[in-house]
Structure 1
Amino acid sequence: MQRKGDQKMAVIEHPVPYEYDGGTFEGMLVFNDSVTEQRPAIFMQPDWLGVCSHTTGMAAEAAETDYVVLLADMFGKNYGGMDKSNQELGKIARSNRADIDFILGCGKVADDALTAEADRLGLIDISRKGAVGYCMGGGYLLEQIRNGSDFQGTVVIHVTLPITVAPNRQNRISGRFLAIHGSDDIVTPKPLIDALEAEMSAHGVDWQVMMFGDAPHGFCVHDANDNLQRYDEKLCKQTYRLMRDFFSDIF
């Protein structure tokens, strides 16, 4: 268990190992230990970097003192995403995204292992559970909720590849849904979000989309500044306020 910050108000990163299909994975519980009462659990599918200092930082930003974040590992222990090029990251992430059985299988093992450990430590009120996914992780998370994952609310932030790779599977989405996106996102342009909205309506989901005008992809990705994505501090803060308002209506 790793402590970051001062002793009175520290972010804890607690590793949780698990195995899937012969592979070794290591997710992370991320929470602030200044809070003693049990909090809602938020299952998190990170972006294509996997579990690393970048995404544990995003998890801490999402958690603050309100939630315990269950950060999933979908790429394997010691993946080293921060040392890979965008081309390599994209190739691996798209390969995973195309494998629906892997997404559902590994995603469930991650959720079960992280939830069990957080419950064992007495950190969470297991009756209050949501999920958040960033970029490619948002696409993974969408497949999980289509398969019936029991999150009471799901948020995807600048989602990548939101349309299902298994259109013939029964759609079992339950719970509420919020997508936060940028109108100038070239990774996931608006027609794909329109299709996602149509899917949600067709299945009777209580859904919302917040579209930030003129915003690019990756506005919550710190240090992002290239032709694909760009961090925006103001929009990122607005995003987390929207996320908290969304979950506060549910929990």
Structure 2
Amino acid sequence: MAYFRRTGPATYHPTDHVSGAWNPDEQHIAPALGLLVHVLERDLAARRDDGLVVARLSFDIWGTVAMAEVGTAVRVLRPGRSIELVEATLSQAHRTVVTLRAWLMRANDTAAIAGTQLAAVPPPDRLPAWDPTTVWPGGFIASAEVRRQQAEPGRAVIWAHTDVPLVDDEPVSNLARATGLFDIVNGMTVRADPREVAFPNLDLTAHLIREPVAGWVGFDATVSFGPSGLGVTSSVLHDERGALGTLSQTLTIRTS
């Protein structure tokens, strides 16, 4: 069973694997973010075939999403021969629930000068398995395999993997599958017990230096809480080939 099954040209229904961590009667937003990348890539493939690649994914989460059918739409905000800004939206019951704005650009061969100072992390087979269902309920968390090396609450290296397809009976890119796991990181090294403190994220932005390879997604993650209800989860993204980019999530911290 996949995370979503298609119900129409632009509509999808979540399966039990999508149920959320804060509330199992709502969707965990992670698979929906992957779904929007899938929809955006399908639209791109239908419009042009000249090799644009994704440089940035910026999601705004407008509110909670019920465990019910969602609709999708894509529009080009800034067309161009070598650079585009594209928006994809997720809606439910005539209400926008997530927007994605993605910068796409033409790929160039820069292998000769490629490099980064982003620190390497231990590969997944060198980290101990960790069961996130000891902290979080919901079908999505139960669907993920997690390995974790925690330095302290709010600071850890995490690897996540799932065998669950993103969309039933449809080929999905490595980027869409990886993006469907990005949002898991906010709950993988908590600073406070989520039964006492809520810290959902309002957004998620990933800047990429290359496309991911298939398999595990890694996070070198730091969770920061400020004194006035603001917080950030910041991560360096990895796959098994090395550093992939960076990710940040704005948190709204609620103690009551």
TM-score w.r.t. length of structure 1: 0.29
Instruction: Kindly indicate which of the two structures has a greater share of residues assigned to helix.
Output: 1
TM-score w.r.t. length of structure 2: 0.28
Instruction: Kindly indicate which of the two structures has a greater share of residues assigned to strand.
Output: 2
Q: Higher relative contact order at CA 8 Å, sep ≥6: structure 1 or structure 2?
A: 2
